[in-house]
Amino acid sequence: MDKIKIVKLDQVSEPPKVEKQKAGKHAKTMKTFPRGVMKRITAKIIPVTDPSKSPPMKKSMRKHTIRIFTPLGEKRRQKTIKKRVSRMSDKQVTTLITKHNLLKNETTPSRIKREMLAGAMLAGFISDT
């Protein structure tokens, strides 16, 4: 018969140590594409009078520019559009709406036409100048 050798150990072996990342550092992953457009312009958001117009171009500016309203600029814009539409005649409102293919029914009341025009101007579909 074969001899069996029995060896007794005093210490139990420790499991291997797993290295953890240092606190405050994140592993860089490329799961999503970096959205750097908003990161660069957040410090200099300025309300504009007409968002449907293209922004003024400088040599240093990129061609793809985003125009965003601040809450104060949005309120100002709503007020100016409301005044401008209320001062227009019904005929002017109808011609603007039909020019931009917003009017589907000719029997639409003028009050609703004005609301449609104001909404389209506020959204930037129609330039109000």
pLDDT band at 103 (very low <50, low <70, confident <90, very high): confident
Residue 27 lies in a domain: no
Mean pLDDT of 55-84: 75
* pLDDT confidence of residue 111: 93
Residue 10 lies in a domain: no
Residue 7 lies in a domain: no
Q: How many structural domains does the chain have?
A: 1
Helices 110-123 and 90-99, interaxial angle, to 10°?
A: 50
Q: Indicate the residue type of 114.
A: R
Cα–Cα distances (Å) from 24 to 20, 21, 35, 85, in that order, read: 12, 9, 22, 54
pLDDT band at 64 (very low <50, low <70, confident <90, very high): low
Residue 122 lies in a domain: yes
Residue 106 lies in a domain: yes
* Range(s) of the domain holding residue 117: 79-129
